[in-house]
Amino acid sequence: MKTFNKKGVWAWSELAKYILALLFIIAGFAFIDRIRGVSEDVYNKELCQISVILNAKIKRPILGSEHTPIDCPTRYVDIDLDRIAEEVPERDMRHETPIRCRKGFMGMPADGVDLDDEESVNCFVETVNSYIADLHFDCWDQFGAGRLAVFGWESTERKCVICSVVNFDEVVSADIDQAYLQENPYDDYLRSNSPPGHDITYYQYLLDDADTVDLPYFDYTYDDDLAIVFMNEYEGRIRNLIEKFGAPIKCAGKWGFYKVTGEGDTCEVGQLMEDLAAPPEYINQNDLTRYQEVTSYCDVLK
């Protein structure tokens, strides 16, 4: 007859309980940290959205220049093989998201990527595509998806906001074959997945007024820093006023666009207020581009 060491069985049973409890505690801390990061992102985005709405709705009289500045600080993202770190210095906010693409204990997901496992590398590519897609979506969404007349109307300069800057650690470009990214391109991810709470794809949501003729193809490589940018430009408020009313003059002690109807200080506004009541023509766009190229097509960085 076989006999069992009951004391040994009990000891192993207790040890297993401690191990499981430790695993749950570790998972709990990771979950709490993730929730904290999500709540910080939501808070940051809501502050930005409020300032954008105020900026769009409240303009200075006549010229339509900005009255309320936007409050949308840049999000700085660093990506390596183990984690994605995001920081917003102006908000004193920082959090990390682990990249869990390795098979760990008992087949459970573990931090990092196994470079010898094709499935693991594809998981890394998908994880990064997903994170960048959410950054791209947040940028366009916090500016009203192109439907708000933000910034001033007074010039035709193209004004830009850099919503996010993404930096890939050197180890990513060195160890991840670009062929994996070509097989799972960012543009395909946008066309195949939807933002949380939306029935349309990321790609459909990100289309702007400039995409009515040529549809965009969004792409990137691990070799370059990326910038996710919101862009705005108007037809030129002051230019149109000068063409219609001439240069601004001083009349009755005030500068403005007037029609002089008599001698001295006798002036009238004429059709000016009626013309100003019509909204100016504007176009809003979004883009994912190399960070080095932003200044080449943005006249003003807000």
Same domain, 207 and 287: yes
Return the HEC string of the chain: CCCCCHHHHHHHHHHHHHHHHHHHHHHHHHHHHHHHHHHHHHHHHHHHHHHHHHHHHCECCCCCCECCCCCCCCEEEEECCCEEEEEEHHHCEEEEEECECEECHHHCEECECCCCCHHHHHHHHHHHHHHHHHHHHHHHHHCHHHCCCCCCCCCCCCEEEEEEEEEECHHHHHHCCHHHHHHCCHHHHHHHCCCCCCCCCHHHHHCCHHHCCCCCCCCCCCCCCEEEEEEEEECCHHHHHHHHHCCCEEECCEEECCEECCCCCCEECCCHHHHHHCCCCEEEEEEEEEHHHHHHHCCEEC
Same domain, 245 and 217: no
Express each pLDDT in 224-242 by its tens digit.
999 999 999 876 554 555 5
Same domain, 148 and 259: no
Same domain, 258 and 297: no
The predicted model gives 154-176 an average pLDDT of: 92
Express each pLDDT in 185-228 by its tens digit.
999 999 999 999 999 999 999 998 777 667 899 999 999 999 99
The range of the structural domain enclosing residue 244 comes to 237-279
Instruction: Please indicate, yes or no, if residue 291 is contained in any of the structural domains.
Output: yes
Cα torsion at 242, 243, 246, 247 (round to 10°)?
30
Same domain, 197 and 274: no
Which pLDDT score is estimated for 13? 56
% of the chain exceeding 70 in pLDDT: 69
Which pLDDT score is estimated for 81? 97
Same domain, 214 and 119: yes
% of the chain exceeding 90 in pLDDT: 50
Q: Total domain count for the chain?
A: 2
Same domain, 224 and 251: no
Express each pLDDT in 261-302 by its tens digit.
555 555 554 444 444 445 567 889 999 999 999 988 898 998
Same domain, 274 and 289: no
Same domain, 159 and 291: yes
Instruction: Please indicate, yes or no, if residue 1 is contained in any of the structural domains.
Output: no
Which pLDDT score is estimated for 247? 54
pTM over 0.85: no
Same domain, 113 and 166: yes
Express each pLDDT in 21-55 by its tens digit.
555 555 544 444 444 445 677 778 899 999 999 98
